Amino acid sequence: MEEYIVEFKHLCKEFPGVKALDDVSFNLKRGEVLALLGENGAGKSTLVKILSGIYTKDSGEFRLFGQEIHNLTPKRAQELGIAIIHQELNMCNHLTVAENIFLGREKVRFGMLSNKEMNAEAAKILGKLNIDISPETIVGELPVSKQQMVEIAKALSTNAKILIMDEPTSALTSREIEELFSIIKSLKKQGYGIIYISHRLEELEHIADRVTILRDGKFVTSMNFKDTTLQEIISHMVGRELKEKYPRISCPRGKKILEVRNLNAGKMVRNVSFDLYEGEIIGFAGLVGAGRTELTRALFGADPIDSGEIILDGKKLNIKSPIDAIKAGIVSAPEDRKREGLCIKLSIRENISLPNLDSLCNKLGVVNKKKEKELTQSIAERLRIKMPNASVNAESLSGGNQQKIVVGKWLARNSRVVIFDEPTRGIDVAAKVEIYNLMNDLKRQGIGVMFVSSEMPEILGISDRILVMCEGRITGELDINEATQDKIMEYATRFEKKEINSRTA
């Protein structure tokens, strides 16, 4: 039997309401690159967090270098040789390369920093990796790819033996990816174990030795990369049966409501065009970071638009802020309830009436409390919001009921387009169904619904049409009759080709 440096057996981890990991077994050998694959929410990050001591397992066996491990803390994990290179780099931009590498472990002589020693040491580590950066460079002045290499150097300087890389190539150009891969290969030769997480399946062929696939918190399979195909990997990633029931209704498709033409906004919305008709729900599918939320923010005026046209009911709109969008009839229930959707210190009533004060106030701007109460009452009843009374803080409600407020505050207006960005995230099944019913209700009333979700079953279960995004572009459109999880996944991973010369380092 080969020697495993990481070994999980029958690992379970439960969060309130979700089984994040359910009987997962996983292992990593010395000197291999293991690709850890799975859809959004498959359990990859939970697994990594247990490995790095951020979460503790509920049950199961966990061995590191053959030793059984209990009560791992992040600090202990680092001492044992585990290091993570995050997707978002954790660097102090104003400090030098050497200062970053030794952050928190500064070398001190007579109470004074000994920069010479640290610079020399940093240069040694960088040299070992064939990275050509001076240790005295300010990190913020380096391109992202070099910063990432500094991060790797930092990990190695802590004597890491196991490197976890989370989407390391997403911000890199093809040339930089090549450099990164040659570093990974040399690390592999030196006996490091590398866990490589990526949605870009096509780049695996250059580095992966083995793949392990998770789905819905369960272990699916682990196989040698040589013995499989990308097609097979995709079907393992998505291959669940659709057994949940979704309350789909069918309406005749009416006239065109919204027309978006060549919309560009920032880096994550690129040349997006689509139409939205009365009586339909468009699902927006894609991987995390595909640009779906950015698209909804641009349409809603929350982020500036660089170019393109938004045409509502035949009229071209000039949306500069959410105020313009709301006036025109486009409203949005944002993704992050606590950060963008709710004023948690204000009462339920105040939250619901906030965007509707124009109709609740007289000419002098005095709020009509009676009207306000009636409005809150009718929305609370329509959405069955469970609350002691409407004066309690929004903070005190459950996630599902908070979500209903975020959505419900828009229902009093005569909107034309309602955007739902991940409306069912983190809420219980009953509340989910109520949100679906509400979307269907709007659809029946001839209101256009845009439904962004990372959960494929619900996208497939509720939408009439699915647009798939990847890297800010719409990479595919699927009618609901032809849509399958495999097809969505295929479009969702249709990254722009980055030519990688598979040069062995």
Residue 349 has a CB neighbour count (10 Å cut-off) of 23
Residue 6 has a CB neighbour count (10 Å cut-off) of 22
Partners of residue 315 on adjacent β-strands: 312
Contact positions toward another protein, by CB under 8 A? 300, 302, 321-323, 326-327, 332, 334, 339-347, 350, 353-355, 357-358, 360-361, 364-367, 369, 391, 396, 409
204, two tokens: 């695996």
> How far apart are alpha carbons 271 and 269 in whole angstroms?
7
410: Cβ–Cβ under 8 A, 6 or more apart, which residues? 331, 332, 333, 355, 418
Q: Hey, is 410 helix, strand or coil?
A: coil
446, two tokens: 């001839």
Q: Residue 345 carries which side chain, given as an amino acid letter?
A: K
Shortest distance, CB of residue 223 to another protein, whole angstroms? 45
Shortest distance, CB of residue 17 to another protein, whole angstroms? 16
Q: Do 211 and 37 form a contact (C-beta atoms < 8 A)?
A: yes
Shortest distance, CB of residue 303 to another protein, whole angstroms? 11
Q: Which is nearer to another protein, 377 or 396 (CB)?
A: 396
Q: Which is nearer to another protein, 178 or 422 (CB)?
A: 422
72, two tokens: 């791992």
Q: Which is nearer to another protein, 245 or 370 (CB)?
A: 370
How many residues are there in the chain? 505
Shortest distance, CB of residue 160 to another protein, whole angstroms? 37
Q: Of 16, 23, 6, 18, whose CA–CA distance to 57 is shortest?
A: 23
Q: Which is nearer to another protein, 157 or 415 (CB)?
A: 415
Q: Which is nearer to another protein, 147 or 415 (CB)?
A: 415
> How far apart are alpha carbons 208 and 243 in whole angstroms?
33
Shortest distance, CB of residue 320 to another protein, whole angstroms? 12
Q: Which is nearer to another protein, 315 or 345 (CB)?
A: 345
Q: Which is nearer to another protein, 120 or 323 (CB)?
A: 323
Residue 415 has a CB neighbour count (10 Å cut-off) of 20
Map tokens 């029931």 to a residue.
245
Shortest distance, CB of residue 317 to another protein, whole angstroms? 15
Shortest distance, CB of residue 394 to another protein, whole angstroms? 9
